[in-house]
Amino acid sequence: MTIDDAPRDGLRGGPRELLRLVASGAAVSRADLARLSGLSPSTVSQRVEALISEGLLQETGAGKSRGGRRPRQLAVPTGGALIGAIDLGAHHARLGTLDLTGRVVEARTRPVRIEDGPEAVLGALLDEVAALAPAATVPGQRGGTAGSGLRGIGIGIPGPVQYDTGRIVSPSRMPGWNGFDVREFCARRADVPVVVDNDANLMALGEHRAVHADLDHAVYVKAGTGIGAGVISGGRLHRGAQGSAGDISHCRVVADPGPLCSCGNTGCLEAVASGAALVAALCEQGVPVEDLTGVMRLIDDGDRHATALARRAGRSIGEILAVVVNFFNPQVVAIGGRLAECEPLLASMRATLYERCLPLATQALLIERVVTGPDVGIMGAAHLVVDRVVDPA
């Protein structure tokens, strides 16, 4: 099994689910796993053996006897086997280590200067992730650096990523990053398997697994400095042919000549409704504001220019999402990122969705905020790595 295998993201019956059942305490034996997963005892045994040989499960002591030989208990090894994760943003990165079930062990936020270029930015963040991983060797571990407990690293990029190659393709606001092979650079530097995806997909996966793992169809919008979305279809992250599925940033919302977008077109969602667009529009109106934090402060203070722009942004996001919802018929649409904290934006997005969608598409549709918090991206990154390293499907 290598990192390039493309196993299912889904949960049902796979080794990933077995691991989760043990980690949550729901199962302590092979018999529990067979009962809870619905798999045959022989399939469970086979998968458990594979997980043990990978160092992802271990047998500890003896369980309760039911008359015969006391069964050995299964457990997820603590210490040693960790996932590193980096969720890169326009101005900050969230980074940390997580255990194999996606629980955060350590996490921190670091300021970054994207314009310093990929080698400098990623190099520093990788060093910090490596420093968080305890020096440990895991029995049966493959691919890890000697002395490092890392099993793999997941990285989110605030721009389009060609998923198969881990390359960045034509990002906005990331000068010097176009065409950069993030996966190759990071895997060579850290000497562990590396998975790279765009930040919206990581947010989608993190939130979906934490909050809506029981639902099959969902759209998660990340609205911060930029704007993007991740799509869950049939319980799996849907990336499309190249990895660009869900990228709504350059969908057109304004028919007349609107603001010029970084892509060269006019009226793109990103040029109208992203955090960067709100900053630019306020500056143009003579309102001195430096960044998204400043915009949010103005909205909280009831500034009418900022509030009107936030409402317009919400309508624009709603217009594009209405097309997505009519086309894709999700069970939930959730909005995350800094702009999700903006009440006027959320309200007008919701109103536009109800106005523009088929009644059948909205009658049971959940429209909500992403609730998982600042670690949602690194949690998604960890799931991505574990899915690829653990699941030998």
Q: Is 263 in the site for Zn ion (CB under 5 A)?
A: yes
CA dist 150 and 247 (Å) reads: 31
- Which residue stretch of 52-60, 242-250, 329-337, 353-361 sits at the interface with Zn ion (rule: CB under 5 A)? 242-250
**What does the block give as tokens for 5?**
């295998």
Q: How far is CA 135 from CA 94, 146, 187, in A?
A: 22, 8, 18
Number of Cα atoms under 13 Å in the Cβ half of residue 240: 14
| C-beta of 268 vs 378, nearer to Zn ion | 268
Nearest residue (CB) to Zn ion, 43 versus 262: 262
Q: CB of residue 159 vs Zn ion: minimum separation in angstroms?
A: 13
| Shortest Cβ 274–Zn ion spacing (Å) | 10
Which one of 20, 47, 151, 250 is in contact with Zn ion (CB under 5 A)? Answer: 250
Least CB distance from residue 171 to Zn ion, whole Å?
A: 12
Estimate to the nearest angstrom the gap between the alpha carbon of 136 and the chain centroid.
27
89-97, 220-228, 250-258, 356-364 -> range binding Zn ion (CB under 5 A): 250-258
* Closer by beta carbon to Zn ion, 276 or else 310: 276
Q: How near is the Cβ of 271 to Zn ion at its closest, in Å?
A: 6
CB–CB of 88/380 below 8 Å?
Answer: no
**CB of residue 269 vs Zn ion: minimum separation in angstroms?**
8
- Minimum distance from CB of 118 to Zn ion (Å)? 22
Helix (H) or strand (E) holding 220: strand 218-223
Task: State both tokens at 276.
Answer: 């960067």
**Residue 58 in contact with residue 73, Cβ under 8 Å?**
no
Nearer to Zn ion, 155 or 272 (CB): 272
**Alpha carbon 348 to chain centroid, angstroms:** 25
Q: Is 120 helix (H, G, I), strand (E, B) or coil?
A: helix
Interacting stretch for Zn ion, rule CB under 5 A, among 75-83, 107-115, 145-153, 245-253? 245-253
Sort 123 into a burial class: Cβ within 10 Å, 0-12 / 13-18 / 19+: middle
- Spatial separation of the C-alpha atoms in residues 390 and 393, rounded to whole Å: 9
Residue with Cβ nearer Zn ion (45 or 262): 262
Binding flag, residue 268, Zn ion (CB under 5 A): yes
42 membership: H or E segment, kind and range:
helix 41-53
Of residues 114, 129, 261, 353, which one binds Zn ion by CB under 5 A? Answer: 261
By CB under 5 A, the count of residues binding Zn ion is 5
Residues that bind Zn ion (CB under 5 A): 250, 261, 263, 265, 268
